[in-house]
A and B are shown apart, each in its own frame.
Chain A
Amino acid sequence: MPGPDLLSSQGLRLDGRRPNELRRIQCKLGVFTQPDGSAYLEQGNTKVLAAVYGPHQASKSKCLQDSVVVNCQYSMATFSTGERKNRPRGDRKSQEMSMHLRQALMAAIKTELYPRSQIDIYVEVLQADGGAYCTSVNAATLALIDAGIPIKAYVIACTASLAWKEGEPEPLVDVSHVEEAAGGVVLTVASMPSTGAIGLIEMSHRLHMDYFDTVLSRAMQGCRDIEVILDKAVREHLAEGWTKSTDDVITI
């Protein structure tokens, strides 16, 4: 089981991070004027744009009497991976991702406030370097906040994997593409760190029960860390008030 060496003997990961360190996060809210809310988020080399429209009147067929309809669309740019590949909208993977996104976001949005309405969330992955889903969730959260849609708490997603150091298991947080491709297990968690609720959890491979808790807690810790950073970014964005600033990227 101790697969490829994800941890060097000095305890550093392939890209030089320690097991509990996130990748660099940069973000910017309100990048577009057309949508009601938008955000651009970078986690390392994974870069995502999210746009939110609504709440607006729902089409008759989808309309719900007691809550809002959340419509998610996830797509990946042709140039987002090393190999250029045409990705038609609505292929299987995107559909699945869209559903997962919806599930995670539905958990946070106060849906009962907008009966007979609809919220559209569009997520475009510009560059994928591992954890595209997580970055999408996080970007969508920022876009929702930018759109002023009431949410119960931040929904933050983060991945965690398991590596071996001298035969001892050591969970890794915020897995990059290289680490994903190494074949180990990847646990994806979308949670609301402030309440501790988990909106979605997914695992890529089988993992023995003995290690599950350590990996999960590392992923949850990752969510909490990301929340702190995003929260700071949101507050700074708001502090700038409604002054129209378009080109300062918030770096943490």
Chain B
Amino acid sequence: MWTTKSFLTKTKRGNIIKIVREHYLRDDLLCGSAACNVCPHKDDELVLDEKPESICMLFDYPHYLVLDTNVVLHQIDVLEEDALKNVIILQTVLEEVKHQNTAMFQRLLEIINNKKRKFYSFVNEHHKDTYIEREPGEKQNDRNDRAIRKACAWYETHLSINSVDGKFPKIVLLTDDENNRKIAVEEGIVCCTAKDYVENVTGVIGLVDKLSKNVIPETCSKDALYPAHLTPSQIHEGIRNGKLYQGTYRASRDNFLEGTAVVNGFEKPILLQGHIGINRAVDGDTIAVEIFPEEEWRRPSDIVLEDKADDPGDQLEEEAVLLKVAKPVDKSDEEVTPTGKVVGIIRRKWRQYCGILMRSKFPGAVRHLFTPAEKSIPRVRIETRQSDVLAMQRILVALDSWPRNSRYPLGHFVRALGPIGDKDAENEVILLEHDVPHARFSEAVLACLPPNDWTIPEEEIKKRVDLRSECICSVDPPGCTDIDDALHAKALPGKTGDGLKRYEVGVHIADVTYFVRPNTALDKEAASRSTTVYLVGRRIDMVPDLLSSNLCSLRGGEERLAFSCVWEIDENANIIHTKFHKSVIKSAAAMTYEEAQIAIDDKSRNDTVASSLRILNALAKKLNRKRLDNGALSLSSPEIRFQMDSETHEPVEVAAKKILETNSMVEEFMLLANISVAEKLAAEFPQCAMLRRHPAPPPANFATFLKAAKQQGFDLDVSTNKAFSKSLDEAVIPGRPFFNTLLRIMATRCMQQAQYFSSGSKTFEEYYHYGLACPIYTHFTSPIRRYADVIVHRLLAACIGCDSTHAALLDVHAAVKLCDNLNYRHRQAQYAGRASVTMNTHILFNKRVEVESASVLAVKRNAVHVLIPKYGLEGPLYLPSDKFSYNEEEHIQTCGDIVLKTFDELTVRLSLDSTNLQHKKLVFELVKPHIPGFSVDVMDVEEAKESKKVEANSKQTPDKKRKEPALNKSAKKKSKKK
């Protein structure tokens, strides 16, 4: 059945050792072609057609394609298009692709697995007739090329065997390697370049647009604008002897000629400035940096600079503006940052980018610029013949290369998302940009669901604690359909040893894990999505609708499965006893926060619902007090709520979210449940419990914030969370009630992100949750919308003996990987939510101009950052440098006797600037304090509306842009209710 052959490899691992591996050659590997009369195929093993139809004009006979590695690596977008069929992917190619680019490899596998595409992967390396040994002195690449040619030749002869009529499919080799092509022709193999082949394909529109641009080698210095990158071996050498550093490039969001690299061993990120300093690095790339001597270090420029709108051609524009500002260096200056330049790219982290096409000024041109929606990504030059159609669309573009002689990176068109301004297209952009999986649930996933009319089976009820007679109710925001928590409380007879009253309080969480069984398609999909994403007016569910809004949703009056956490609590909110069990409940009422508040306040109501709510409310206040005494931070972040037009689904009004007492009541008990569960899990599963931690922020984060607070006369103590919480409470200015909230909003921005982790990966001290001031915490209460909770449910069920464990649940490595994904998706979901709010704000302000009071959040060199409390909106108010002077030490802007500093209250005018379709931005203009020649008059408001269009047309678009809210800084606190 098999023959054997062993071969020798030499490898370097510090010292050279010889590795001997076996390599079995087989005679039972199939060719996969229906035209073959030799191989014993079964029906489902036939991938390639017997008579493949040719769609290329160059080869008008039936043929199969064999791809070289470089074609797969560079033209994956062409391959993904449903055009080329009957393709043979050799194992040699597969291995090389896997070795060079895992992402590409995954995409290739996906194509191969799609039966309709008719891609066959042939294991030539283990086939007895196609395996070749590397010859002495032959390079690995050359051997692989030879292996590919050998396989081509084999296919030709193999298919011709026993061919009845002599009409068998030919083989066409696609390769972009000139040398390979030459030898192939000599050996009589038909071959051509991917470009020639694709350009001659008939009947598929737009395939040519997806061709990746040919890569010009780094060594080519013709018309070079940028210095060459070092070769990988030079970089390796440089890093080893300490001359170079490896880091991740982060482009500045404000200034396209500036970026930073986070490098190990440096406290501050390394500053990179100018075209040459950045040298074609794109946000996210792993780069090699050379750090300048200390006397050349600069400070980050605090100006806002945007890439110019028109295409300057292949030349680098003046960088004087930037460099002038950055120049003055004083050694004692705290803000001087280690500065360096990019000398090489270690790994590109390019993905596909959403954005819009900026058509070339010349009609009929095929080269156009593409502006990505993501501001940290440079513009991209693409070639397309469909610019007329694409100009008004949101499109997706992939980056190909960035040769030295090109001002912009080169890319190619991938697909169109929809017209600009169309709500669905814009949502699609948000989802794609934040890598939110939002495709419809697959058939395999839907097959895991119970039937629509599912009811709780009798035997399941028998296994559970029956709480249907308890008066349980849920409290949620209005319009919430995925209700995952409900509460109950009742007084217990008798008193505790201290003579205190006893209560029983229960938190009941939807039992999602009953439906989402481990390792099913449904489970895998939920794990990959990790969280439900809430956009304004749209929800991208983690689990299908049937579960999230029906079977798992604890709706009023319906029997539902739940996972309950029941405490015995005394009057002073001390926990006497905790128990966990699976249960069946029947919620008495699904209330909104407002309804619950009314029920509590309405003295005339004495029903069980109202009285249990009152118990809960009283206990929650005590719990809250305790938590705050422990040092929990009560932070704040502006959250806004849109009222949507019921027909057009456009926002009609916006307001900051209202917080009621009942909000915090529910939150308190959710926190309590989460903490109780976390303690239980950490004790039972010291290696693999899913927990959530919130690291204390490093003191450096607070620097600017403390300075600003000091200007208002408050010395805040940030040494511990307890001290910080206390000093925040004391920082109150009578008559300015919003000041304290503002302080808390800014404090939030100094925080770190909370994150999921597996208990085995951190020490117990690191479990600490800074924001909540509790030693251990997890997420248990929202399994419908968070996958972490699903895992926690499974762990808890396993340790109380309700359910069996499964392998992945107890695997430490799997847990760590899962946490990474959860954290990533969680962050992306937050960003997506905020992006959606921004987009809707733009729609809302499209038609109006408002005058509102605002507060200054931060002072920059050419702008102040303002927040409008009423809407929770924020953005920059640009200040002209001829009127204002900036004091760097104090962070203040002065104009005559008017001083602008952080926390100042202003009156501003709000309107929308739509001149740039890609980056619509809210424009803030100063109304009060009045500065002649700069401020706008309130009277002008009406006029402004009229003149807006005119203004927009006249070329008065200063180099400003809306600063995004400080996304990465703001911390997620608490178990936020949606």
Interface residues of A (CB under 8 A from B): 1, 3, 8-10, 12, 14-17, 21, 23-24, 44-45, 82-83, 129, 167, 176, 178, 206-208, 210-211
> Which residues of B sit under 8 angstroms from A211, Cβ to Cβ?
807
Is there an interface contact between A12 and B22, defined as CB atoms closer than 8 Å? no
Interface positions, chain B 1-46, Cβ under 8 Å from A, are: 2, 4, 6, 17-26
Is there an interface contact between B807 and A210, defined as CB atoms closer than 8 Å? yes
Is there an interface contact between A83 and B17, defined as CB atoms closer than 8 Å? yes
Is there an interface contact between B4 and A24, defined as CB atoms closer than 8 Å? yes
Among all A-B residue pairs, the 5 with the closest Cβ atoms: A208-B807, A16-B24, A16-B126, A1-B811, A1-B814
The complex places the Cα of A167 from the Cα of B21 at a distance, in Å, of 27
> Which residues of B sit under 8 angstroms from A208, Cβ to Cβ?
805-807, 810-811
The complex places the Cα of A10 from the Cα of B20 at a distance, in Å, of 24
Task: Report 30 cross-chain contacts, Cβ distance below 8 Å, ordered by A residue.
Answer: A1-B807, A1-B808, A1-B813, A8-B91, A8-B94, A8-B123, A9-B112, A9-B113, A10-B91, A10-B123, A12-B123, A12-B126, A14-B21, A16-B23, A16-B24, A16-B25, A16-B123, A16-B126, A17-B24, A21-B2, A44-B22, A45-B6, A45-B20, A82-B17, A82-B18, A129-B20, A129-B22, A167-B519, A206-B810, A211-B807
Closest to B521 in A: A167
> Which residues of B sit under 8 angstroms from A210, Cβ to Cβ?
806-807
> Which residues of B sit under 8 angstroms from A83, Cβ to Cβ?
17
The complex places the Cα of A210 from the Cα of B807 at a distance, in Å, of 7
Is there an interface contact between A15 and B807, defined as CB atoms closer than 8 Å? no
Residues 96-112 of B, flagged 1 when their CB comes within 8 A of A and 0 if not, give 00000000000001001
> Which residues of A sit under 8 angstroms from B112, Cβ to Cβ?
9
Interface positions, chain B 800-849, Cβ under 8 Å from A, are: 805-808, 810-811, 813-814
Whether B531 sits at the interface, judged by CB under 8 Å, is: no
Whether B524 sits at the interface, judged by CB under 8 Å, is: yes
> Nearest Cβ distance between residue A10 and chain B, in whole angstroms?
5
> Which residues of A sit under 8 angstroms from B810, Cβ to Cβ?
206, 208
Whether B564 sits at the interface, judged by CB under 8 Å, is: no
Is there an interface contact between B20 and A15, defined as CB atoms closer than 8 Å? no
> Nearest Cβ distance between residue A19 and chain B, in whole angstroms?
13
Is there an interface contact between A10 and B23, defined as CB atoms closer than 8 Å? no
Is there an interface contact between A16 and B26, defined as CB atoms closer than 8 Å? yes
Number of interface residues of B (CB under 8 A): 32
Q: What 11 new A-B contacts, CB under 8 Å, besides A10-B123, A16-B23, A82-B17?
A: A1-B813, A9-B94, A9-B113, A10-B91, A12-B126, A15-B24, A16-B24, A24-B4, A44-B22, A178-B21, A208-B806
Whether B212 sits at the interface, judged by CB under 8 Å, is: no
Closest to A176 in B: B22
Is there an interface contact between A82 and B19, defined as CB atoms closer than 8 Å? yes
Is there an interface contact between A23 and B22, defined as CB atoms closer than 8 Å? yes
Whether B121 sits at the interface, judged by CB under 8 Å, is: yes
> Which residues of A sit under 8 angstroms from B21, Cβ to Cβ?
14-15, 45, 176, 178
The complex places the Cα of A102 from the Cα of B26 at a distance, in Å, of 38
The complex places the Cα of A2 from the Cα of B20 at a distance, in Å, of 26
> Nearest Cβ distance between residue B259 and chain A, in whole angstroms?
35
The complex places the Cα of A21 from the Cα of B22 at a distance, in Å, of 13
> Nearest Cβ distance between residue A143 and chain B, in whole angstroms?
25
The complex places the Cα of A12 from the Cα of B811 at a distance, in Å, of 26
Residues 616-655 of B, flagged 1 when their CB comes within 8 A of A and 0 if not, give 0000000000000000000000000000000000000000
Is there an interface contact between B23 and A15, defined as CB atoms closer than 8 Å? yes
Closest to A14 in B: B21
Known: A23-B22, A208-B807. A9 touches B6 (CB 8 A): no
Is there an interface contact between A15 and B22, defined as CB atoms closer than 8 Å? yes
The complex places the Cα of A3 from the Cα of B18 at a distance, in Å, of 25
> Which residues of B sit under 8 angstroms from A45, Cβ to Cβ?
6, 20-22
> Which residues of B sit under 8 angstroms from A207, Cβ to Cβ?
807
The complex places the Cα of A176 from the Cα of B20 at a distance, in Å, of 12
The complex places the Cα of A178 from the Cα of B113 at a distance, in Å, of 27
Closest to B127 in A: A16
> Which residues of A sit under 8 angstroms from B109, Cβ to Cβ?
9
> Which residues of A sit under 8 angstroms from B806, Cβ to Cβ?
208, 210
The complex places the Cα of A171 from the Cα of B977 at a distance, in Å, of 45
The complex places the Cα of A45 from the Cα of B23 at a distance, in Å, of 11
Closest to A169 in B: B807
Closest to B4 in A: A24
The complex places the Cα of A82 from the Cα of B6 at a distance, in Å, of 15
